[in-house]
Amino acid sequence: MAKRGGFPGGMMPGNMNNLMKQAQKMQKQMEEATKELEEKEITAAAGGGAVEVTISGKREVTKVKLAEEVVDPDDIEMLEDLIMAATNEALRQIEEASQQSMSKITGGLGGMGGGFPF
């Protein structure tokens, strides 16, 4: 019976070291990108600009701006809908910015495929 030694899948120790260095570099880039995103703010509007909501990269509402004409005590439901729409749009934009930022970092992984045994 032939002795089977070395690393699984025939990976050489040097290749493993390079892979670990790349993973550490990617982790650092992701941490930096996350910090940058947390400091970012996105403002979205609804009702033709009558309602503006600003969301931080931490996904916290930091500001709500209402045009005077949208504050109608007889139509609170419309105001609620506009605030909700502006908030959801700002959250969508933050998520999109986050995905774009992370895909710049992880984009090079596409060539690796599913070759990992885990």
Summarised one tens digit per residue, pLDDT across range 12-64 is 667 888 888 888 888 888 888 888 888 899 999 999 999 999 999 899 999 99
CA-CA-CA-CA torsion sign (11, 17, 18, 21): positive
E-assigned strands of 10-60?
41-46, 51-56
Closest CA to 58 of 99, 91, 82, 30: 91
Higher pLDDT, 73 or 7: 73
C-beta separation of 101 from 36 below 8 A:
yes
- Are 68 and 103 spatial neighbours (Cβ–Cβ below 8 Å)? no
Which amino acid, 7? F
Residue 8 near residue 117 (C-beta atoms within 8 A): yes
Tell me the pTM. Answer: 0.67
